[in-house]
Structure 1
Amino acid sequence: MRISIKLNRVALAALLVAVASSCKNDAATASSESSNEKSTELMTDNILLKEWTGPYGGVPAFDKMKVEDIKEAVETGMEMSLDEIEAIANSAESPTFENTIVALERSGAELDRVFAYYGILRSNMSSPEFREIQTALAPKLSEYESTILQNEKLFKRIKALYDSSQVHPHPADQQRVLELTYDRFAMNGANLDEGKKKRYAEINKELSTLYTKFSNNVLHDEENYVTYLTKDQLSGLSDGYIKSAAKIAADKGHEGKYAVTNTRSSMDPFLTYSDERELRKKVWTNYYARGDNGDEFDNNDLIAEILKLRRERVELLGHKNYAEWRLQDRMAKTPENAMQLMEAVWPAAIARVAEEVADMQAIADKEGANITIEPWDYRYYAEKVRQAKYDLDSDEVKQYLQLDKLQEAMFYVAGRLFNYDFKPVPEGSVPVFHEDVKVWEVTDKDSGEHIGLWYLDPYARQGKRSGAWATTYRSHTTFDGKETVLASNNSNFVKPAPGEPLLVSWDDATTFFHEFGHALHFFSSNVKYPTLNGGVRDYTEFQSQLLERWLSTDEVINNYLVHHETGKPMPKALVDKIKNAATFNQGFGTTEYLASALMDMKLHLADPTNIDVDKFERETLAELKMPKELPMRHRTPHFGHVFSGEGYATAYYGYMWADVLTSDAAEAFKEAPGGFYDKEVADRLVQYLFSPRNSMDPAEAYRKFRGRDASIEALMRDRGFPVPKS
């Protein structure tokens, strides 16, 4: 949902398919000469393989990419990469850091370039044609990963260097790269015997196909379940929403009607403001039933198979369950530690939900609605409670949250904290993949040094996956000459009608800042080697969650949250209402998230033999005493974080782990003389929490910033929950 990080060739391919595995490609060396000739010929013709040219250190030719070029480019890129791998593995020289680890870091440049295009077509511009290609490529990418990560000769060289370094360590950054490389190979079966390696690779190949099908099924349901309204069904909706819905309906061939699409950005405001209860129920049901409609696009059986295969695979490595294997290199280290955090917060969260529902029911009763609060009522009556308790109207707040002004606010914060300047690039100087995408150059404000380019793709469209995320097309490194950053933020705001401003909710504005935090994390990198641009999943959300806090600083509110018609700043009385309501609806927000995180963990701790996924979800929620008035944020059949790949599998808890760090770090700014713009604290923030990326242990990095470990107390204070007694 929130982030897709380009690491290096191996790790990125794993994000696109599955966690990689093994199978030695015996034909690679024998065919290297002919495949090189073929690859060279294809590079001449296929734009996706070519070096990036033009300004700013070279940029992707997004304007020239074609779906029909993808399959050939990926296959050729894999061939070229494997030839390089074979050369490293079969070197007659004794292994050194330079001829093995640095050579690995340098390899696969052509495939890296292809993946930049592949990622765009997968997430931003998917089509039925591309999905067919993606399905065909998924098992091939898995085999490619297997060939590398369980190449015996290659791992023997890495292990020799690793063993030697335990006695004679390398310089800190080299040691970190070596250890991360060794761990990645070891965690993915490099130490297994041949029989187990073969099965490990087969499992990964099967999983890669299942992940692709899962993702495409969800996308199908998002595209095909649209609710069309007539003019007499618009009560409660804002003029901006109505105009946008009319435009979307017309674009879909339903002139004179109004479309509610099956995405969060369309669903959420409809459920918040529509007075039509039966229509709210229909829209709610469409959204939360994605992947769960009992048809050919249903995901329940796929999930059961994924769980079985994941368990079988980690058992080959000697682990009891998938969660134990996955968390060994995360901050939490064990599933027990992750569960302990979630279970500490859960009781306070559901207790708050009970209070919130009581407040809603009281308003419904007072209005004579004669209903019992149901999930499709929660947002609607929560808004009424907000207005009654805090005299705070979300639609009134939205009038001050114009997307282009929020963008200016983010640039201001980046200038104050990171000393960055953002300027739009000249029209047409940088190719983009859609006319809605805009590009800015990022430079150092003092020296004028070029840092990189920032791409913004803000609007929902057919073929674009839902949610918001950040990605990089090129990461900063210096080991082979300085590489500047090409970073992108991607959102799904409903595009306004022509001439209308794009006004967003406070939650959407917060997410906009969050994703920009990921981009700043990319831009601030000072690492030498590509592998160090990676991250620990329950830590990399921390930096972006922390940046959300600057949205509510006085400097941003007073200068950038201005009325879209009058240009006047948000009045102090409204600002006070927002701050007074800061912990409002925390029961809903915390519970819907935690339910998904707990479900993720419990699914992977459970015995997957003969698992009935739908039944498991119902029974687990009952055991948790999940309030019936709200759903999980991501129900299991469309939980793409966990089942369209492995990036967040048993790691969705990481948002809360990161939130503990966020709340604690925010208090460091609150306590500083200059508040959230205190220079000394901001310098420490950049030095220890942003610039190092994964070049040092995250726990150590946080201690350097804060002087101690983070604690849960700040999180509980932030959410208005009772602080546990120590």
Structure 2
Amino acid sequence: MKTLTQNFETKHNTAPFSQIQLADYKTAFEATIAQARAEIDAIVNNTDVPSFENTIEALDFSGESLDRLSSIFFNLNSAETCDEMQKIAQEVSPMLTEFSNDIALNEDLFKRIKAVYDQKDKLILTTEQATLLDKKFKGFSRNGALLSEEDKLKLREIDTELAKLKLTYGENVLAETNNYQLHITNEADLKGLPDGSKEMAASLAKSNGLNGWVFTLDFPSYLPFVTYVDNRELRKEIAIAAGKKAFQNNEFDNKENVKRIVELRHKRANLLGYESHSHFVLEERMAQHPDKVKAFLNDLLEKAKPAALKEFAELTAFAKELDGIEQLEKWDGAYYSEKLKQKLFSLDDELLKPYFQLEKVLNGAFTIAEKLFGIKFKEVFDIDKYHNDVQTFEVLDFQDELVAVFYADFFPRKGKRNGAWMTSFKPQHIKNGVNERPHVSIVCNFTPPTETKPSLLTFNEVTTLFHEFGHALHGMLANTTYPSLSGTSVYWDFVELPSQVMENWCYEPEALALFAKHYQSGDVIPQHFVEKIKESASFLEGMATLRQLSFGLLDMAYHGKSQTIDDVKAFEKAAFEGTSLYPDVEENCMSTSFSHIFQGGYSSGYYSYKWAEVLDADAFAYFQEKGIFNHEVATKFKDNVLSKGGTELPMELYKKFRGQEPKVEALLKRAGLV
């Protein structure tokens, strides 16, 4: 237990993963919560007049051990979990919720904060300090500090139940993902599937003690299957399995969890004086109001829908001409899109994959970061890790000073949730004159190496790596005083700018020349492939935009107004009405596995992907104007966006970088929608 409750005696104070016993977590949480309570008590019981330093600053630096422990535990619960760990999560989550509620509803603490806040106009504060003061005051007022005792109690009950519901929701999705496998013994059923995917499926079958091939709902297994396998019935089977996760009236069903989460979120918002959960959430976003989000989504929908309908008609005609398909279904989309893409651009992921060896792509991302932001990455082998697959790096500046510790975890495995994400094991902050550098991690589920081939990425996986690496740069280059304003601690609709802007380099010949080299011959990717990649970037973009908008509109439908939902499937169908292209599949429901909004932090925030696309298209247009490795533009981006975290309002930071507010035209142009 001692391992988890003190500063680690390790290189760069990194987490000592190999020394951690599961049995130690609960006791460690109890001890660090007690320590954090004592730190809060010391602030409350301070007899000096409340000041910025002894109240606001002291509060931000409190609970450091608990935050560190929480980040280690919950990061591993996503990347390397097991039944025992999930059980511990169910036990400690209510403890943490209770503790955060104890702080949020601590009247004496709030009195001190309010005393400082009430005299803010007389205080001489830096921009960052003023932001922190505002954030701390709102953190209390938005969490019930101004409520009556009776309502505070109601709020606690809601928060405790929500914490448990969100965990259960996520566990159900993971269980449903793990519980399905498609076992194939006849090789003819795999006609069309690339050799690499087939080899991976054979290896998966072997590891399960089976002959033939095994496919799962994990993306590197699922996506090639629905994209390439000619057998339409088998594509239908696995697609329906993916679409009915946690919608099967079994012990892992999430319908009631969805209804209850939505109901409690609205109750919570109403209790705090807000019209809906969205009104509450968006007060702390660039968008600020549900009406603005809905107008933004509907405006894009109006511009994208004609293109989407035209593309869908073309895809339908193509499928009919090729295979006599009268009605395109959801399990046909990826398959015929890939076939049409190959016809139009002679561009096949299988042709491109040999040029995207994972190690080379990762080194390419490192080289681009070095050219833009003056940092270098050095792989090291003396930093503890939680799984053999994980790679560890020191990130250094050109004076060889430590900028960050970087962990990379790339391959799917049991106990690791689907998808890709960036996270942090230790935030950056400055305390007692020492700039504590961050420990940042990216976790992905890429195609693993096989016995005959290294890990070769699809182009989509390449852009995913750059996306998560952009988030990581936001964390690694942070340079703020206070931990709660550092790195990715920014408004939710601003957080995707650094990640999405990095994807743009994947389309530039000058950048591709650095890493897109054939894994056997070492030849740089041919120029005509690069041109095809750029041309195909806006291929079926209208349909893709409609899909993203549908998710944002579904999110806003759930959270934009207080309501009672009788039937989750019917509600979802109504929300998708204006964006549907394919016929509905009766046994499928997205809401029961829409983890982004029901387990993650994207409720009333899914629109931010598109919002950030407007920002990133506008930002990259500036790079293109001056040169994609232009030092002046890169420095402005680093100094005004990447290093500043949440120290100022995002729009102010963006204008300091760009000199103007973002314009939607750059996105429409890039997407080929104008």
Per the shorter chain, which TM-score range? Answer: over 0.9
**Structure 2 residue aligned with 1:449:** 401
**Structure 2 residue aligned with 1:381:** 336
**Structure 1 residue aligned with 2:605:** 651
| Partner Cα separation in structure 2 for residue 523 and residue 700 of structure 1 | 22
TM-score (norm 2): 0.97
Answer whether contact 1:243 1:496 (CA < 8 A) is retained. Answer: no
Identity %: 34
**Structure 2 residue aligned with 1:532:** 485
Q: Indicate yes or no: 2:197 matched with 1:241.
A: yes
Partner SS, residue 480 of structure 2: coil
TM-score (norm 1): 0.90
Answer whether contact 2:507 2:533 (CA < 8 A) is retained. Answer: no
Q: Indicate yes or no: 2:146 matched with 1:191.
A: yes
The structure 2 residue matched to 1:468, chosen from 417, 420, 441, is 420
Q: What is the CA deviation profile of residues 562-596 of structure 1, one whole-angstrom value per residue up to 9, with x for unaligned ones? A: 11222111111111111122210213322222111
**Structure 2 residue aligned with 1:663:** 617
The structure 2 residue matched to 1:250, chosen from 196, 206, 220, is 206
Answer whether contact 1:459 1:495 (CA < 8 A) is retained. Answer: yes
Which amino acid in 2 is paired with 1:510? Answer: T
Answer whether contact 2:192 2:229 (CA < 8 A) is retained. Answer: yes
Q: Which moved more, 1:490-499 or 1:430-439?
A: 490-499
Partner SS, residue 537 of structure 1: coil
| Partner Cα separation in structure 2 for residue 608 and residue 71 of structure 1 | 38
Partner SS, residue 233 of structure 2: helix
| Partner Cα separation in structure 2 for residue 494 and residue 461 of structure 1 | 11
Q: What is the CA deviation profile of residues 672-712 of structure 1, one whole-angstrom value per residue up to 9, with x for unaligned ones? A: 1xx11111111111111111111111000111111111121
Answer whether contact 2:78 2:417 (CA < 8 A) is retained. Answer: yes
Alignment of 1:36-435 (within 5 A): 45-56=1-12, 58-230=13-185, 231-254=187-210, 256-425=211-380, 427=381, 429-435=382-388
Answer whether contact 1:356 1:382 (CA < 8 A) is retained. Answer: no
Answer whether contact 2:379 2:394 (CA < 8 A) is retained. Answer: yes
| Partner Cα separation in structure 2 for residue 71 and residue 587 of structure 1 | 49
Which amino acid in 1 is paired with 2:373? Answer: F
Unaligned stretches of 5+ residues in structure 2: none
Q: What is the CA deviation profile of residues 504-541 of structure 1, one whole-angstrom value per residue up to 9, with x for unaligned ones? A: 11111101100000111111111011121111100011
Partner SS, residue 671 of structure 1: helix
Partner SS, residue 192 of structure 1: coil
The structure 2 residue matched to 1:680, chosen from 632, 638, 653, is 632
Answer whether contact 1:588 1:630 (CA < 8 A) is retained. Answer: no
Shift, 1:252, TM fit: 2.2
| Partner Cα separation in structure 2 for residue 283 and residue 587 of structure 1 | 26
| Partner Cα separation in structure 2 for residue 271 and residue 615 of structure 1 | 26
| Partner Cα separation in structure 2 for residue 264 and residue 351 of structure 1 | 30
Q: Indicate yes or no: 2:511 matched with 1:588.
A: no
Q: Indicate yes or no: 2:653 matched with 1:701.
A: yes
Partner SS, residue 228 of structure 1: strand
Partner SS, residue 176 of structure 1: helix
**Structure 2 residue aligned with 1:522:** 475
Answer whether contact 2:420 2:468 (CA < 8 A) is retained. Answer: yes
| Partner Cα separation in structure 2 for residue 569 and residue 662 of structure 1 | 27
CA RMSD, Structure 1 to Structure 2 (Å): 1.7
Which amino acid in 2 is paired with 1:291? Answer: A
| Partner Cα separation in structure 1 for residue 354 and residue 170 of structure 2 | 35
Partner SS, residue 487 of structure 1: strand
Mark the CA change 1:95 to 1:439 in structure 2 (over 3 Å): closer, same or farther: same
**Structure 2 residue aligned with 1:508:** 461
Partner SS, residue 423 of structure 1: strand
Shift, 1:395, TM fit: 1.6
Shift, 1:179, TM fit: 1.1
Shift, 1:171, TM fit: 2.1
Answer whether contact 1:249 1:258 (CA < 8 A) is retained. Answer: yes
Answer whether contact 1:592 1:631 (CA < 8 A) is retained. Answer: no
Answer whether contact 1:65 1:117 (CA < 8 A) is retained. Answer: no
**Structure 2 residue aligned with 1:717:** 669
Which amino acid in 2 is paired with 1:275? Answer: D
| Partner Cα separation in structure 2 for residue 386 and residue 165 of structure 1 | 59
Shift, 1:625, TM fit: 4.3
Mark the CA change 1:541 to 1:610 in structure 2 (over 3 Å): closer, same or farther: closer
Q: Which moved more, 1:202-211 or 1:137-146?
A: 137-146
Partner SS, residue 471 of structure 1: strand
Shift, 1:159, TM fit: 0.8
| Partner Cα separation in structure 1 for residue 46 and residue 579 of structure 2 | 60
Q: What is the CA deviation profile of residues 290-347 of structure 1, one whole-angstrom value per residue up to 9, with x for unaligned ones? A: 1211211111111111111111111111111110011001000001111111111113
Which amino acid in 1 is paired with 2:51? Answer: T
Shift, 1:433, TM fit: 0.2
| Partner Cα separation in structure 1 for residue 61 and residue 475 of structure 2 | 19
| Partner Cα separation in structure 1 for residue 68 and residue 574 of structure 2 | 46
Which amino acid in 2 is paired with 1:444? Answer: D
Q: Indicate yes or no: 2:584 matched with 1:627.
A: no
Q: What is the CA deviation profile of residues 218-250 of structure 1, one whole-angstrom value per residue up to 9, with x for unaligned ones? A: 000111111112223221111111111111122
